[in-house]
A and B are shown apart, each in its own frame.
Chain A
Amino acid sequence: MEVNILTLKIIVPVKQVPEVADVKVDETTGTLIRDGVPSILNPFDELAVEAAVQLKEKHGGEVTIITMGPPQAKEALLKALAMGGDAAIHMTDRAFAGADTWVTALTLAEQIKKMEFDIIICGKQAIDGDTAQVGPEIAELLSIPQICYVRHIELSEDGKFVIAHRETDEGYDVVRARMPVLLTATKGLNEPRLPNIMGIMQAKKKPFEEVNAETLGYDVEKLGLKGSPTQVRKVFPPEKKKGGIKVEADDPKAAAKDLVEFLAKKGAI
């Protein structure tokens, strides 16, 4: 039986991140070189946007993209709209800056509380922080169930439940939860579409709302860096393990023999 819920409301929280693969470390100062590193829509969030758009295409409904970030994060929202999102909310304010995962989740959840939703889909984690915490923290703050690291999403025939395949250390669980529910998307869920020209042009005309601390109506002392329970105390370059022996394998047989002798001597084999 085909599920048909014309009112399916999906929210996708996203983050704009630096293309981590392009980030280099300055060898002398040990600091990150950020110049020229492009900002992108977090790849795991692309999976979330794609999943939301696919659900909408199949069952009908509406997809709202939301982000908290500096003015330039609008680009990430526009990309998600170009992929098929229907409306976007940009939470941007100096008071939001420097937020750790808890305050980020709090800020997003305060906005989401004002909205209607059946499903929230987040990316599993952002590639700059890799914490995977904001999704579950939003779910907790909204008092809704969560299914993290999903590779497959479907709706029950009565349209009341989400059935998802949740990745585990051993394989996956088939998990069912009544809506509203929060899901986090992991690799294998889908292949995110590339926005086409039509999509990119339409994105600029779609409903776009900006929210700041005042319109959110939340105590600024409890937001951003000020409201963050965790603090970065220090950052430093990772300790580099030093290389040892390096030989050219002009004679593969001799090189192999030397290697195996080395390992035998170390008791490794």
Chain B
Amino acid sequence: MTLHYDIDACTGCMLCTKVCNFGAIEKDGDKVKFDMDKCVLCGSCEEVCNDNAIKIERKAIDKEAIAQYKDVWVWCETNEGRLKGVANELVTKGRELADKLGERLVAVLIGHEIEGKAEGLIHQGADKVFVVDEKIFEHYTTDAYTIALNTLIAPHKPAIVLYGATSNGRDLAPRVAARMALGLTADCTGLDIDEERQLIQTRPAFGGNIMAEIISPYTRPQMATVRPNVFKPSDPDTSRTGEIEKVEMTISPIQVRTKVMESVNEFVEGMKSVEEADVIVCSGRGIKDPSNLELPKQLAELLDAAVGGSRPIVDLGWLPPSQQVGQSGRTVCPKLYIALGISGAIQHLAGMSSADIIVAINKDPDAPIFEIADYGIVGDIFAVLPEVIEAVKKVQAER
């Protein structure tokens, strides 16, 4: 794992200094110099160097050991007996990866009284479902779930294990991975298989300013958490068949070192979840006052939409945290996203840019939100929004 720089071969074209994303290459007279504290050996410089002056030597891969690992696994999260939306998204994506590898897709269902969900996962694309159904798994705990997953993974040797990047998924995956001394890629927004049958894990970094492709070349299983609402679930095929295997697992309460004393649901009565809604009406700083949220709420009611907020207005307490859209809130992928008075900071865009149709109303013509909006209106939301509400009412009345 080293970078070799052939200073004599280098013609000083400086191309490498321009492509380095880590600030590791600097001009040094006619040549360049490398700061190995910053270099991550990503290979961007090696790729652009026309003089073959940069060579990256990587560790050898134990191909024989790696070949023993087969199948794509998806941990299918449940909450109070309900399957989380991301489970179906991952089974759909996992199916695609398994097909590319010519291997099986295995779903892992852990919980209590959740056996009935197994068939749906087969319809969604799984070839096999492991069901671990015990009272101790009724509520998520790090310890019980880590033990259950490790117990399944160790003997079966899957090549890939995927988790939804939910609160619990991001708590569990690093624990499972660290127990097996494995790499883990967080919050992926893209997954693919390369020509060497490796999992290519694409994720945003630096607040969404840059995308990174991560691989885990030396170890198996390859593990990743995947952002919810990025991949679309396919329509279930009820004619699909597969195997359901119930696994008995005895975990003593002593092995579970945390105790959930109370579970509080903070979803405000009558407020639709932004993660599940087909339409979201989202407000930003431009809404100016919490009392003005009545307008977006009216529009949301007409469209059966969720009411969302950008980080600034959630920080101000105008909407509960459950409604926050963006990097530090929820990632959403609705059919229609209406952004009101939202400028469109990169952190906000990271949470909503994959919506099918984006509408923006903002009085600042240079607001970044317009760069991604399918339909932008430059204007005062307080003048335009009431008219939009009236126009929607009219269209709906005509139907």
Contact = CB atoms under 8 A, between A and B. Distances in A.
A50 B42 CA distance: 36
A102 B204 contact: no
B170 interface: yes
Contacts of A148: 142, 167, 170-171
A31 B266 contact: no
Nearest to A24: B209
Given A146-B175, A225-B1, A243-B376, A187 B328 contact: yes
A38 interface: no
Contacts of A233: 42-43, 200, 213-215
Contacts of A132: 170, 174, 186
Interface in A180-198: 181, 187-188
A97 interface: yes
A232 to B, nearest CB: 4
A236 to B, nearest CB: 5
B357 A173 contact: no
B360 to A, nearest CB: 9
Interface string A13-50: 00000101101110001011010000000000000000
Contact of A97 (B38, B79, B217): B38
Contact of B174 (A98, A133, A262): A133
Interface string A235-269: 11110111111111110110111011111101011
B218 A229 contact: yes
Contacts of A225: 1, 39-41
Interface string B198-222: 0010001111111111111111000
Most A CB atoms within 10 A — which of B84, B146, B262, B322? Answer: B262
A240 B344 CA distance: 13
- Chain B interface residue bracket vs A: 35 or more
Contact of A102 (B184, B262, B359, B380): B184
A269 to B, nearest CB: 6
Contacts of A247: 376-378
A211 interface: no
Interface string A158-173: 0000010011111111
Contacts of A234: 42-44, 212-213
A136 B171 contact: yes
Interface in B68-122: 79, 84
B67 interface: no
B259 A232 contact: no
A182 B356 CA distance: 40
B179 interface: yes
Contacts of B394: 260
Contacts of B146: 140
Contact of A168 (B143, B263, B375, B380): B263
Contacts, number: 307
Contacts of B336: 263, 268-269
Interface stretch (B16-24, B123-131, B239-247, B284-292): B16-24
B265 interface: yes
Given A225-B1, A256-B387, A176 B208 contact: no
A24 B318 CA distance: 30
B384 interface: yes
Contacts of A130: 186-187, 204-205, 207, 327
Contacts of B184: 101-102, 133, 230
Interface string B364-389: 01000011111111111001100110
- Chain A interface residue bracket vs B: 35 or more
Contact of B168 (A18, A98, A169, A181): A169
A141 interface: yes
Given A130-B186, A136-B178, A263-B357, A235 B262 contact: no
Contacts of A236: 210-211, 213
Contacts of A135: 174
Contact of B142 (A21, A146, A228): A146
Nearest to A161: B259
Most A CB atoms within 10 A — which of B41, B178, B379, B387? Answer: B178
Contact of A145 (B36, B257, B265): B257
A123 B371 CA distance: 33
Contact of B257 (A24, A177, A188): A177
B357 A266 contact: yes
B21 A171 contact: no
B9 interface: no
A128 interface: yes
Given A137-B174, A145-B142, A252-B387, A237 B211 contact: yes
Nearest to B15: A29
Most B CB atoms within 10 A — which of A23, A94, A245, A249? Answer: A249
Given A135-B174, A226-B1, A230-B185, 15 more contacts: A94-B36, A100-B183, A128-B206, A137-B175, A146-B175, A170-B265, A171-B267, A173-B262, A231-B42, A234-B44, A235-B42, A238-B204, A243-B376, A249-B383, A259-B377
24 contacts: A23-B206, A127-B207, A137-B178, A140-B175, A140-B179, A145-B258, A147-B258, A168-B168, A170-B322, A171-B266, A171-B322, A175-B258, A188-B321, A225-B40, A231-B42, A233-B43, A241-B371, A244-B376, A246-B373, A252-B387, A255-B379, A257-B387, A259-B359, A266-B357
The 6 closest A-B pairs by CB, nearest first: A249-B379, A229-B183, A171-B266, A256-B387, A230-B183, A131-B186
